[in-house]
Amino acid sequence: MTTAETSIAHSTFVIERNYPQPPDRVWNAFAQPARKRRWYAEGDHEIQEFEMEFRVGGAERFRYRFKEGHPIAGSAIANESTYQDIVPGKHIVMTSKMSLNEKPIVMMLATFEFRPGSVGTDLILTHQGAFIEWPDGPKMLEAGWRSLLDRAGNELAL
């Protein structure tokens, strides 16, 4: 396949969660590197790098390799993100590129909105992506974010 024949799928999804914790506690789970690493980066893979400079223009880098037993064991994932806009306690806007074995597979824009709810905090994630040669990517990435936001809820409950 030539570059001109590259297949790109576009997708937008919105995920809403309510966490019973106050907005500042939920915000901190996204803004503090050690807390975010626990719910976002740790899992059934080998972390090679996790860096987070939480400021407008700051970078977030997350690299990992899948462990034995995974369908693509040994494969490396790299996420390179830039924080485009941050309003403390209100929203985070970031752009990201995800690569599989050094080949870009998705470019993303993610907006996280934090709103006081009737109980706790309402979080709204709006995710837009361009998936390169990854037709199942939109469905898989949305499922991944749903799982990650559940993990964030577990982190908040500690």
Q: Would 50 be classed as within a structural domain?
A: no
Structure token digits, residue 142: 């949305």
Confidence of residue 6 (pLDDT cuts 50, 70, 90): confident
pLDDT(5) > 80: no
Residue 71 lies in a domain: no
- Structural domain count of the chain: 1
Three-state DSSP at 34 gives helix
Q: Is residue 53 part of a domain?
A: no
DSSP character string of 113-155: EEEE-SSSEEEEEEEEEEEES-TTHHHHHHHHHHHHHHHHHHH
- Does residue 137 come out as left (phi exceeding 0), alpha (psi in the -120 to 50 range) or beta? alpha
pLDDT in tens, 72-93: 889 999 999 999 999 999 999 9
Residue 31 lies in a domain: yes
pLDDT tens per residue across span 19-50:
999 999 999 999 999 999 999 999 888 999 99
CATH number of the CATH domain containing 139: 3.30.530.20
Q: Does residue 57 form part of some domain?
A: no
Kindly state the percentage of the chain with pLDDT values over 90: 86
Digit-coded pLDDT (tens) for 109-124 = 999 999 999 999 999 9
Residue 112 domain boundaries: 6-41+82-157
* C-alpha span between 37 and 31 (Å, rounded): 10
